[in-house]
Structure 1
Amino acid sequence: MKLLIGYVSMSGNTEDIANLIRHTWQDAGHAVSICDDWESLRIEQLSEYDGVILGTYTWGDGDLPYEAEDFVYDLEEAALDGLPCAAFGSGDTDYPKYCAAVDTVEEALQSGGGHILTSSLKIEFDPNTDEKKETCMTFAKTFLQQLEALKKVQPHG
């Protein structure tokens, strides 16, 4: 399958999560594209993929990063037509709105007509422990399992 991981990262934490997911998917034999520039990513491009996950860090008081705002607002108005998708990201539990930008991305995917295949993945800081790495890989595998099950039910969808 052809899969897209789109993410924005400031400190590298969300990028590290994206790379763990990418390796998990590639090891399972899938073609994976990565985009770390949402300002150049177009909503229309998403339909070229069998599945899409979008990752972000949370800024300030639960806000989207500046470089993600326009894309996410466009996503809310998109016509994703049931595109299989999910959201992920990094955050800091010291803030009251932990990973709130991840929730915003997931809500935008749903508003735009995306089909959320699995609950969002939220990692505190970076995936620097075996447990966090395993959580990221499990998220990636669960997404694949759900996508493969969906494709069996809707082989041309």
Structure 2
Amino acid sequence: MSKIILIFASMSGNTEEMADAIAAGIKENDVDIEMIDIMDSPEATMLAEYDGIILGAYTWGDGDLPDDFLDFYDEMDDVDLTGKKAAVFGSGDTYYTHYCAAVDILSEKLKERGADIVMEGLKVELTPEDEDIENCQEFGREFIKKSVVSSM
């Protein structure tokens, strides 16, 4: 059975709500997922233990990764993710020039470390509405179809 991890950073609860919906979509396929809040200080080296990796973060200010994610992001430089399937999601505010830039920053880091990004990053404006929650669940379902099922 494939192992999936979802690590997220959420300040206002928006990204956590997205994470919960993505996990629900994954669980519909009888696949287990480990969810970790970045505030629980996971080590990036643990990513190597998983077949599927999903990272989620809100964008801080005008396009920055949240401070909570910085140490983990830097630690990723020491992790080989070749062959791992990955996807990224996050919340942001179109008021800023760089909407949901954290999604793009994390996607680039995963690619740089060798991961195969199997889906375009999912971006949600501020608080997820009903349609956004459904999109998050579908994101989880699609992640399984594009990563775990094809590798089983």
User: Do the structures match in fold with TM over 0.5?
Assistant: yes
Shift, 1:51, TM fit:
0.5
Alignment partner of 2:53: what SS?
A: strand
- After superposing the two structures, state which structure 1 stretch, 141-150 or 79-88, moved more: 141-150
Q: 1:137 corresponds to which residue?
A: 137
Alignment partner of 1:96: what SS?
A: coil
Q: 1:95 corresponds to which residue?
A: 96
Counterpart residue identity of residue 140, structure 2? A
Alignment partner of 2:49: what SS?
A: coil
Counterpart residue identity of residue 143, structure 2? F
Give the distance between the partners of 2:134 and 2:108, measured in 1 at CA.
Answer: 25
Q: TM-score, normalised by structure 1?
A: 0.89
Shift, 1:39, TM fit:
6.2
Contact 1:17-1:126 within 8 A present in 2 as well: no
Q: 1:110 corresponds to which residue?
A: 111
Unaligned runs of 5+ in 1: 153-157
Contact 1:6-1:38 within 8 A present in 2 as well: no
Is the alpha carbon distance of 1:110 and 1:118 closer, same or farther for their aligned partners in structure 2, counting shifts above 3 Å? same
Shift, 1:43, TM fit:
2.2
Number of residue pairs the alignment of both structures matches: 151
Q: TM-score, normalised by structure 2?
A: 0.92
Identity of aligned residues (%): 40
Instruction: Report 1 or 2 for greater relative contact order, CA contacts < 8 Å, sequence distance ≥ 6.
Output: 2
Q: 2:32 corresponds to which residue?
A: 31
Give the distance between the partners of 2:46 and 2:39, measured in 1 at CA.
Answer: 12
Give the distance between the partners of 1:32 and 1:149, measured in 2 at CA.
Answer: 14
Moved over 3 A (4+): none
